[in-house]
Amino acid sequence: MKAKLYNLLEHRASECRYFVIPVWRGSGYTTMFVQGQGNTSSPYFTVTFYKEFAETKDLVLIRGDVVFTSKLIDSEVEWLIETVQSFYLNDARCKLVERFNKETHDFEFKDVLQALNMPIL
């Protein structure tokens, strides 16, 4: 990930720490609660950003660790990481993240599903 994108992600995650992302499974989906920073109890997976090369190489390395392998498979974690980034880095999608964190009463989960082209069940 480019350092500039990481800085945007870090800034937005500090202002909007939480979000929800559906993971498609079979004929439905499981909704994952995402916490952008801080400690949480029993996470399914963790993501760490290594910023050591941000200034010199314009590069931020990302590492994802699955904590509960019985709950998520690698492809689901990869999809979650990419999807979370797409919501925090895309201005239009980020409005949903902001609404979830700052205007909760106006948040509609169906808007997330529509943004991901997932059926509303």
User: pLDDT per residue over 5-33, tens digit each?
Assistant: 888 888 888 888 899 999 988 888 889 99
**Is residue 45 a part of any domain in this protein?**
yes
Count structural domains, the chain.
1
**Is residue 100 a part of any domain in this protein?**
yes
Nearest-angstrom CA–CA distance, 93 and 72: 24
CA 106, 110, 115, 116 torsion-angle sign: positive
Range of the domain at 91: 3-115
Q: Model-level pTM?
A: 0.82
Mean pLDDT of the chain: 89
**Is residue 121 a part of any domain in this protein?**
no
**Is residue 96 a part of any domain in this protein?**
yes
**Is residue 120 a part of any domain in this protein?**
no
Nearest-angstrom CA–CA distance, 116 and 99: 17
Which residues touch 78 (CB under 8 Å, ≥6 apart)? Answer: 64
Residues 63-86 have a mean pLDDT of 89
Name the pLDDT band for 38 (thresholds 50, 70, 90): low
**Residue that wins the pLDDT comparison between 95 and 5:** 95
Angle, vertex CA 53, rays to CA 52 and CA 58, nearest 5: 140
